Amino acid sequence: MTRRGKTVVAAVLVLVAGVVGFLMWGRSSSSVFDQRSGSANYSVHLTIDSPRVGDNTVQLDVSDLSGTPVKADEVTVEPVMVDMGHALTPTTALPAQQGNYRAEHTDLPMAGRWELTIAIRRAHTTERVTFALVL
């Protein structure tokens, strides 16, 4: 093989490695989305194990500002893809234990920037906490 041929092969290999690296970057199957935020009366810890396009399970820990777990009347996850104008049907988060809620089958049907609004209804009031997620 000529020197020019070797250079072309090397350049193609570097290009392929770069494309594969770009496609794999930030897409580890073991990634966990883990964020905390709050409202006037609540602190929310949201976790999604390996967020992906399609069906996801959202774990929520809800406490008051002193750290005491909250027993809410209802907790929902409201996915919105702002850039595309998609507002999906809220998913009810079921209580797993005091202050811990699980919203199974939270559908995120396409890649992009999502806002997940957590609505916490308790004693005839509702407060919302919003998280930004990029798939």
pLDDT digits over 113-134, tens only? 999 999 999 999 999 999 999 9
Which sequence spans correspond to the domains of the chain? 1-28, 32-134
Task: Classify the phi-psi angles of 85: left when phi > 0, otherwise alpha if psi is within -120 to 50, otherwise beta.
Answer: left
116, two tokens: 């997940």
Structural tokens at position 40: 């006037």
Report the share of the chain in percent with pLDDT over 90: 76
Nearest to 42 by CA among 130, 135, 127, 132: 127
Angle value at C-alpha 87, between 84 and 90, nearest 5 degrees: 150
**pLDDT (tens digit per residue) in 39-63:** 999 999 999 999 999 999 999 999 9
The CATH homologous superfamily of the domain defined by 32-134: Macroglobulin (MG2) domain (2.60.40.1930)
CB atoms within 10 A of CB 70: 19
Q: For the chain, what is the mean pLDDT?
A: 87
Contact 62, 42 (CB under 8 A): yes
